[in-house]
């Protein structure tokens, strides 16, 4: 009989179970792999612009004020210090990603979300932010403000 | 059985033969509720269930007008509130019932915790309840973004960034949740799918398990009552307890209608990624104690970033709460467990205190 040649029933059953189990795992992997890849969003190319010319005239920015502008796809903040210097920083709070704003009363950059304070060099001076804001280089060319990534 | 079937006439008899109405009636008639001085807490779970049903019904109605895209979401909610007849009512009830549901869920959870109803054999009931709480908070978090207004936009930025700072898998989870590197229209679409399909399906399945387990084990009698000789008497679930439940549900509906009419849900300003976060920004009240804790944490604790420390601490706290039925060995053996009573009270006091501070402490100082 064939059974004798193949060995005891138990080992045949074991083989079939093992084979079935393996097929089950293979099925799960082949279903779960595309599913997980589907759930992870594709990388969209970031704007690589290193330089932005602002739609703001230098004379329109009063001392002790700040405003948000678009740096690529991210918000950035342009500040004129009470002494008259123009400075630009990333407007994304280093704590939890909120957009910061200029506080005339404190002469500081401030994040409303968790009360984080930065001085006019972008340094985190109070509250939860762990790092300074990324700073940009500001150049005034004639009647234009040009902001670029440092160096 | 024959006479039962005959009582309701031919239709009933036909149905009984196919659905087994008599068997269901027997099960329902057997269910008894222990009556003692803590019986009032038994109503909280049913109340949460009722509010969940309100959420499902009003949510389905909102779907008829809502458009899930960054360009149209805010405008569609504006249209719903301003133009659609009783649109304000449906949305306001949905918003208020969400808050009340989280509230009754918390009260239900803490009453179960303090009355030690998680002790064997009800551990899995506790686990499924904790999972349902997680889902309820997920409902709140995802639903908050859908009107695509300023507050929701920044709350979601912060919330998904918190997920992003979970050690090791954080940045992957953050991307997965946001549908990209930033909160954009892709996030809105994703949150919509999670809010109206993934969470409801999961919650319904878990709720089924939770209710089955409650049915299987019956109501837990608190240890203190058991030691004093057990519940004095029992009341039948059908119809005595159910009718009392209904009184509660009708009252909740009245409260909901009043809240929706006098304090309709607001919409605020449309989200603009190029405006600063508005002053006084805050999350929903049930996230407030965590939000306020994050505000008090310094930038660095023990060499790691403050918020990472806070998130890991809250994660471990949640895990501890989940595992209480396994950790509380004294209660499992039927001995008094003062330690876990005090832990429960401690958690409640912490949450109340930090929620209070969140609403009273100055936002800028």
Question: Is A44 among the domain residues?
Answer: no
Number of domains in chain A: 2
Stretch among A40-44, B89-93, B155-159 having the lowest mean pLDDT: A40-44
- Which ipTM was obtained for this model? 0.74
**Model pLDDT, residue A60:** 86
pTM of the model: 0.86
Contact status of B72 with chain A (Cβ, < 8 Å): no
Q: How many CB pairs under 8 A join A and B?
A: 88
3-state DSSP call for residue A89?
strand
Determine, yes or no, domain membership for A57.
yes
Query: What mean pLDDT is predicted for residues B110-123?
Result: 95
CA B228 to chain centre: 33
Using CB atoms, pick whichever of B182, B278, B295 lies closest to residue A115. Answer: B295
pLDDT at A88 over 60: yes
Q: In whole angstroms, what is the distance from residue B331 CA to residue B68 CA?
A: 48
- B279 interfaces chain A, CB cutoff of 8 Å: yes
- Give the helix/strand (H/E) hosting B68: none
pLDDT for the residue A97:
85
Phi and psi at residue B266, to the nearest 5°: -90, 165
DSSP single-letter state for residue B42: G
CB atoms within 10 A of CB B160: 24
Is residue B21 situated within a structural domain?
Answer: no
Domain around B189: 29-360
CB B57 within 8 A of CB B220: no
Q: Which two tokens stand for residue A52?
A: 């932005």
B263-314 confidence digits (pLDDT tens): 999 999 999 888 888 877 778 899 999 888 887 887 778 778 777 888 889 9
For chain A, say whether B269 makes contact (Cβ under 8 Å): no
Per DSSP, chain A holds a count of helices (H) and strands (E) of 2, 10
Please check whether residues A79 and A139 belong to one and the same domain.
yes
Q: Are residues A27 and A64 in the same domain?
A: no
A145 plus A83 within the same structural domain: yes
Mean pLDDT over A91-115 rounds to 90
Burial of B338 (0-12, 13-18, 19+ CB in 10 A): exposed
* A63, A55 Cβ separation under 8 angstroms: no
One domain, residues A34 and A55: no
Q: Is residue A46 part of a domain?
A: no
Give the chain A residue nearest B165 (alpha carbons). A96
Instruction: Please tell me the predicted confidence (pLDDT) of residue B1.
Output: 46
Query: B58: domain CATH number?
Result: 1.20.810.10
pLDDT for the residue B228? 85
pLDDT in tens, A105-119: 999 999 988 888 999
B69-88, pLDDT tens digit by residue? 999 999 999 999 999 999 99
Instruction: DSSP for B249-317, please give it.
Output: HHHHHHHHHHHHHHSPPP--SBP-TTSPPPTT----GGGHHHHHHHHHS-SEETTEEHHHHHHHHHHHH
| B103 assigned to some structural domain | yes
Answer yes or no: do A113 and B281 touch at CB < 8 A: yes
> How far is it, in rounded angstroms, from Cα B363 to Cα A78?
24
Asked if the structure places residue B180 within a domain, the reply is yes
The structural domain count of chain B equals 1
A139 lies in the same domain as A72: yes
What are the angstrom distances between the C-alpha of B27 and each of A13, B7, B58, B64, B238? 42, 19, 32, 39, 10
Give B305's contacts in chain A (Cβ within 8 Å). 130
**If you ran DSSP here, which 8-state letter would residue A85 be given?**
-
Sign of the alpha-carbon torsion through B283, B287, B291, B292: positive
Residues of B in contact with A107 (CB under 8 A): none
- Domain identity same for A35 and A57: no
Q: Is residue B11 part of a domain?
A: no
* Minimal-distance CA residue of chain B relative to A69: B274
The region, left, alpha or beta by phi > 0 then psi within -120 to 50, assigned to residue B238 is beta
Mutate to test the interface with B, among A95, A109, A110 (most CBs of B within 10 A): A95
* pLDDT value at residue A89: 94
Q: Nearest residue of B to residue A99 by CA position? A: B276
DSSP letter (8 states) at residue B220: P
Tell me: do A30 and A62 sit in the same domain.
no
Q: Which residues on chain A place their C-beta less than 8 Å from a C-beta of chain B? A: 39-41, 44, 46, 68-70, 73-75, 77, 91, 93, 95-101, 110-115, 124, 127-130
Q: What is the mean pLDDT of chain B?
A: 91
Give residue A1's pLDDT band: very low, low, confident or very high (50, 70, 90). Answer: very low
Q: Which residues in chain A are contacts of B299 at CB distance < 8 A?
A: 124, 127-130
Instruction: Tell me if A45 is assigned to some domain.
Output: no
Structural domain contains residue A76: yes
Q: Do A113 and B280 touch (CB under 8 A)?
A: no
Contact B274 A113 (CB under 8 A): no
* pLDDT for position B363: 57
Angstrom distance (rounded) from CA A126 to CA B17: 74
Question: CA-CA distances (angstroms) from residue B316 to A107, B156, B158, B308, B309?
Answer: 39, 23, 20, 12, 11
**Mean local confidence (pLDDT), B353-361:** 90
pLDDT of B3: 53
Per-residue pLDDT band for B364 (boundaries 50, 70, 90) equals low
User: Which pLDDT score is estimated for A48?
Assistant: 66
CATH number (domain holding residue A141): 2.102.10.10
Query: Are A123 and A69 in the same domain?
Result: yes
Q: Does a structural domain hold residue A128?
A: yes
Q: What are the phi and psi torsion angles at B105 (to 5°)?
A: -65, -45
Instruction: State the pLDDT at residue B282.
Output: 78
Tell me if the bond preceding B239 is cis, omega within 30° of 0.
yes
Q: For A144, what's the count of Cα atoms within 13 Å in the CB-facing half-sphere? A: 9
Range of the domain at A129: 51-149
Per the listing, tokens 């407030």 go with B288
**Chain A residues lying within 8 Å of B363, measured CB to CB:** 112, 115
Q: Both A100 and A132 in a single domain?
A: yes
Rounded to a whole number of angstroms, the distance from the CA of A41 to the nearest CA of chain B is 5
A27 plus A57 within the same structural domain: no
Asked if the structure places residue B19 within a domain, the reply is no
Q: Are residues A7 and A79 in the same domain?
A: no
Band (A5; pLDDT cuts 50, 70, 90)? low
Nearest CA-CA distance, residue A145 and chain B, Å: 18
**Mean pLDDT along residues B143-160:** 91
Contacts of A115 in chain B (CB under 8 A): 295, 363-365
User: Residue B7 domain-assigned?
Assistant: no
């Amino acid at each position: 009989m064939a059974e004798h040649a193949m060995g005891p029933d138990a080992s045949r059953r074991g083989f079939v179970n093992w084979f079935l189990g393996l097929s089950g795992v293979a099925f799960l992997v082949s279903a779960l792999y595309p599913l997980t890849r589907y759930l992870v969003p594709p990388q969209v190319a970031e704007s690589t612009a290193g330089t932005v010319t602002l739609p703001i005239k230098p004379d329109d920015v009063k001392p002790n004020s700040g405003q948000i502008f678009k740096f690529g796809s991210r918000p950035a903040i342009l500040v004129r210090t009470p002494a008259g210097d123009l400075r630009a920083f990333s407007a994304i709070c280093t704590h939890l990603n909120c957009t910061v704003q200029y506080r005339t009363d404190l002469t500081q950059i401030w994040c409303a979300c968790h009360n984080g304070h930065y001085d006019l060099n972008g340094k985190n001076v109070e509250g939860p932010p762990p790092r300074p804001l990324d700073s940009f280089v500001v150049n005034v060319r004639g009647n234009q403000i040009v902001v670029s990534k440092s160096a | 059985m024959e006479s039962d079937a005959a009582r309701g006439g031919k239709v009933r008899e036909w149905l009984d033969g196919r659905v087994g109405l008599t068997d269901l009636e027997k099960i329902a008639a057997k269910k008894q509720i222990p009556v003692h001085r803590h019986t009032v807490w038994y109503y909280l779970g049913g109340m949460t269930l009722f509010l969940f049903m309100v959420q499902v019904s009003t949510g389905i109605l909102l779907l008829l007008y809502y458009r899930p895209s960054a360009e149209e979401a805010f405008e569609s909610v504006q249209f719903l509130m301003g133009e659609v007849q009783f649109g304000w009512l449906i949305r306001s009830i949905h918003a208020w019932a969400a808050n009340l549901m989280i509230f009754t869920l918390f009260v239900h959870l803490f009453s179960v915790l303090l009355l030690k109803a998680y002790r064997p054999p009800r551990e899995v009931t506790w686990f499924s309840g904790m999972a349902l709480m997680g889902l309820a908070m997920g409902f709140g978090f995802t639903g908050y973004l859908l009107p695509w207004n300023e507050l929701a936009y920044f709350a979601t930025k912060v919330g998904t960034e918190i997920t992003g700072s979970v050690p090791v898998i954080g940045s992957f989870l953050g991307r997965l949740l946001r549908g990209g590197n930033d909160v954009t229209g892709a996030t809105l679409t994703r949150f919509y799918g999670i809010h109206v399909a993934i969470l409801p399906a999961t919650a319904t399945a878990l709720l089924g398990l939770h209710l089955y387990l409650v049915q299987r084990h019956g109501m837990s009698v608190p240890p203190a009552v058991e030691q004093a000789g057990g519940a004095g008497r029992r009341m039948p679930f059908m119809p005595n307890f159910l009718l009392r439940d209904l009184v509660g549900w009708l009252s909740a509906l009245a409260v909901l209608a009043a809240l929706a009419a006098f304090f309709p849900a607001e919409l605020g300003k449309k989200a603009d990624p190029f405006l600063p976060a508005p002053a006084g920004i805050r999350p929903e009240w049930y996230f407030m104690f965590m939000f306020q804790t994050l505000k008090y944490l310094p930038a660095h604790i023990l060499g790691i970033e403050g918020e990472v420390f806070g998130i890991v601490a809250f994660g471990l706290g949640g895990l501890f709460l989940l595992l209480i039925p396994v950790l509380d060995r004294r209660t499992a053996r039927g001995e008094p467990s003062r330690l876990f009573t005090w832990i429960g009270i401690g958690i409640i006091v912490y949450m109340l205190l930090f929620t209070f501070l969140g609403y009273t402490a100055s936002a800028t100082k």
